[in-house]
Copies of this chain bind each other. A is one copy, B any other.
């Protein structure tokens, strides 16, 4: 159950087995079936979550009812509504499961305890944040400067695994285009092959 978490942690800092045991007590295991919510808009986001198995997505829903996916989180990725989690204000994102998933959750309080008892985790989450910023910046730059087709090609190159595990209309939403447009883009790419 904790393999993915600790693999993730050990990439960045090293832990004694005591520390590992302590850390384990602070996370709450949880399973989610496909389409079940982990968080709904307007609720307060109580947890920071790492995906041990499966896929989660975080997304907003606009006035027209269209979903806009901020994040698609495979194994080893962390998800939360950061603003709501930190401020305890209502969330603006929804989070649900794209596949049946296994998760580890940690509350704000437990996270503080983790920082206090194992200060190395300050470093861990600093480094995790850095990686996160990097990928957000890349995505934003892409969304400012690329055409729909280029954005799709970028994605196939960087995250080919997403394409197999996530329905195409969610890929479209993640890219900020409609399902129809993505369908036509793929058709075009085959043609020019």
| Interface residue? A25 (CB, 8 A) | no
Complex Cα distance A133/B48, Å? 14
Decide yes or no whether A140 CB sits under 8 A from chain B: yes
Q: Which of A29-37, A123-131, A157-165, A184-192 sits within the interface?
A: A123-131
Given A82-B133, A122-B122, A122-B126, A176-B143 contact (CB < 8 Å): yes
Q: B86 to A137, Cβ gap below 8 A? A: no
A126 cross-chain contacts in B, Cβ below 8 A: 122-123, 125-126, 129
In this complex, the interface size class of chain A, counting residues with CB under 8 Å from chain B, is 20 to 34
Closest to A83 in B: B134
Could you mark each residue 51-87 of chain A with 1 if its beta carbon is under 8 Å from any beta carbon of chain B, else 0? Answer: 0000000001010001011100000000000110010
Q: Quickly give the copy total for this chain.
A: 2
Nearest residue (CB) in B for A129 is B129
**CB–CB B137/A82 < 8 A:** yes
A123 contacts across to B, CB distance below 8 A: 115, 122, 126
Closest to A130 in B: B129
Task: Please name the residue on chain B nearest to A173 by beta carbon.
Answer: B144
- What string of 1s and 0s marks CB contacts (under 8 Å) between A165-193 and chain B? 00000000100100000000000000000
Q: Among B82, B92, B141, which residue has its beta carbon within 8 angstroms of that of A70?
A: B141
A173 CA / B141 CA spacing, docked (Å):
11
Give chain B residues whose Cβ lies under 8 Å from the Cβ of A145: 60, 62, 66, 68
**Closest chain B residue to A63, Cβ basis:** B145
Q: Would you call A132 an interface residue if the criterion is a C-beta within 8 Å of the partner chain's C-beta atoms?
A: yes
Supply 15 A–B pairs (Cβ within 8 Å), ascending by A: A62-B145, A68-B141, A70-B137, A70-B140, A70-B144, A82-B137, A83-B134, A122-B126, A125-B126, A126-B126, A126-B129, A129-B132, A129-B133, A133-B133, A140-B143
